[in-house]
Amino acid sequence: MKPGHITTPAEANTIPQIEEMYIDIGARSREEAEAMGVRHGTPITYATAPVELANGLVASPSIDDRAGCTAIIHTAKAFAEKRPKATVYYIGSVEEEIGLRGAETCLHDLDVDMAVAVDTFPAGYQPDVNMRDLFYEVGNGPGLHVGEIGDRVRIQSQQVHRWLRKTAETHGIPHQVGLMNGGTDAMTMMQTRGGIPAATIGVPRRYSHSPVEVFSLSDFENLTKILKFAVEGLDASFTTARV
Ligand SMILES: [Zn+2]
């Protein structure tokens, strides 16, 4: 960043254009940078480690969607000894943020009856967010969407949603039911193949898409519990038929 000492008032209130941005890696020349392994197209990320805050909250970059990936790994591990009756695919898909791409191709070759997107959601209850706009609250349990408002409004599969919701209710697991501005992989999964019934579940997090997203460990634990009980309870009687 340009030092504040020489920043003009007009510059101070503007976000620099991407072509004006640069990253200092300590190299003194192009050759030095190349010797360090830097090439055109080398990916970068925030070098921020997770930090534990008060009340079981954790700040970390990429909670979205490391939390979801970790939750499905925990769920798979829970069935390491005793497999569930249903066939379950645990998939870590790519490029959700830039167009829900990975989930669509993943499911193209799999003949599944339904799908669940395990994601994270922007939460309200931070000083600069009106709680009418984002009503999920960190610490009140994982969220279960009834719908998503992205480029178009998508109502989630009521059968899949109710299965997850009923699991949470039956086992007395805290959860929140809501709606989200923005989409998740459930949107695209419902439009791949012949339309796969899908719903979304995930942990709410504050400071969405920043290097200090904040989520609650208890929400995460409750998410893995709901997933585990939901999969455990699946048998041939489950149907996505509406009547
Ligand atoms: Zn996201």
CATH number of 212's domain: 3.40.630.10
Centre of ligand 1 from the C-alpha of residue 220, in Å: 16
The two tokens of residue 24 are 């200092």
Cα separation, 125 vs 154, in Å, equals: 25
> Of these residues, 34, 81, 96, 104, which one is catalytic?
96
Residue 185 lies in a domain: yes
Sheet holding 57-60, edge to edge: 51-52, 57-60, 213-216
What's the structural domain count of the chain? Answer: 1
Is 96 tagged catalytic? yes
Residue 224 zone, left/alpha/beta (φ > 0; ψ -120 to 50; rest): alpha
Centre of ligand 1 from the C-alpha of residue 126, in Å: 18
Taking CA atoms, 61 is separated from 66, 100, 136, 185, in Å, by: 9, 20, 19, 20
Residue 107 lies in a domain: yes
Residue 30 lies in a domain: no
Residue 89 lies in a domain: yes
Centre of ligand 1 from the C-alpha of residue 7, in Å: 33
Tokens 């009140």, residue? 140
Residue 42 lies in a domain: no
Q: What is the residue-level pLDDT of the chain in tens, covering all 243 positions?
A: 888 899 998 888 898 898 999 999 999 999 999 999 999 999 988 888 999 999 999 999 999 999 999 999 999 999 999 999 999 999 999 999 998 899 989 998 899 999 999 999 999 988 898 878 888 999 999 999 988 887 778 889 999 999 999 999 999 999 999 988 888 999 999 999 889 999 999 999 999 999 999 999 999 999 999 999 999 999 888 888 876
What's the pLDDT score for residue 93?
A: 93
Centre of ligand 1 from the C-alpha of residue 81, in Å: 33
Residue 95 lies in a domain: yes
Range of the domain at 177: 51-232
Torsion of Cα atoms, 195 then 77 then 50 then 13, to 10°:
0
Residue 240 lies in a domain: no
pTM of the predicted protein model:
0.89
Judge contact between 136 and 178, C-beta under 8 A: yes
When computed from its CA atoms, the radius of gyration of the chain, rounded to whole angstroms, is: 21
Cα separation, 233 vs 163, in Å, equals: 9
Angle at which helices 158-170 and 217-232 cross, to 10°: 110
- Cα torsion 199, 203, 208, 209: sign: negative
Helix segments in the chain, DSSP class H: 9-12, 30-35, 63-78, 101-108, 158-170, 185-189, 217-232
- Among 74, 90, 97, residue whose Cα is nearest residue 217: 74
Residue 38 lies in a domain: no
Centre of ligand 1 from the C-alpha of residue 175, in Å: 20
